[in-house]
Structure 1
């Protein structure tokens, strides 16, 4: 009976963790892309590829600009619904909206009070 209760407790805790955190690293793995607002150009074409080993590749291209795309590689972690990206001293956050959408969230906070689109969608 004790063994059955222990197993049941483990199952309940595991289910609670899955419900609380939504997606696992393998579910989040893949490529998200979109065009984010840009102060001095028509948009910032952004592509982020999540790898299941906790690494990422990001390519940012300024639209209608001669500037070369910026490539960033690093690691990412998911804590509840905030994804924190780290590449050396460079850190930034996105909020996990769903398995198919992430939204830029500087400092872990969503941008509010604007109609601008800060989301990237899964390819």
Structure 2
């Protein structure tokens, strides 16, 4: 009989541990959902391929974090170059609309659109003409897929 009680006690303890772990996991999931829901609309991953003179294009991933920091990764297509990564803080020119990224080689200007970011020219204007679509980075959803594709 004592052996049976010991088994029951072991099962109860194991289940209570499992129960507390489940509650912690649920709480963590809720916190993550809350953090995502509170992120500003411009926060997220943006991707595109920019024109280049020396190769078929420059693949760019720009991640804007809700805390105002960024991470930019570029790769020159069909070359043997390694990815170039820059991290830092976004400098807002017009809050929530236009911003500057200070790269060690140059300052880069951007404008937030709906579900996209426009890469601006040196004067802070959108690129126009037939090359304009190549200077737009599309926002990606949390799973890494393409967002809505809408850009305004």
TM-score by length of 1: 0.71
Q: Does 1:55 align with 2:72?
A: no
CA contact (8 A) 1:74 1:88 kept: no
For residues 105 and 135 of structure 2, what CA distance do their matches in structure 1 show? 23
Q: Which residues in structure 2 correspond to 1:1-123 (within 5 Å)?
A: 26-80=40-94, 81-87=97-103, 90-98=106-114, 100-107=115-122, 108-116=124-132, 117-123=134-140
SS of residue in 2 equivalent to 1:28: coil
> 3-state SS of the aligned residue for 2:41?
helix
The structure with more radius of gyration: 2
Task: Give the Cα separation in 1 of the matches to 2:103 and 2:129.
Answer: 29
RMSD of aligned Cα (Å): 2.1
Q: Which residue of 2 aligns with 1:21?
A: none
User: Would you say how many aligned residue pairs link Structure 1 and Structure 2?
Assistant: 99
Counterparts of 2:60 and 2:104, CA distance in 1: 20
CA offsets per residue over residues 55-89 of structure 1, 9 Å max, x none?
10000000000011110001113333312112467
Question: Larger % of helix: which?
Answer: 2
Residue-by-residue CA offset, 1:18-45 (whole Å, 9 max, x unaligned):
xxxxxxx721111000111111111100
CA contact (8 A) 1:78 1:84 kept: yes
Tell whether the 8 Å contact from 1:96 to 1:102 is kept in structure 2 after alignment: yes
Q: Between the two structures, name the one with larger relative contact order (CA 8 Å, sep ≥ 6).
A: 1
- In structure 2, runs of 5+ residues without a counterpart are 1-38, 141-152
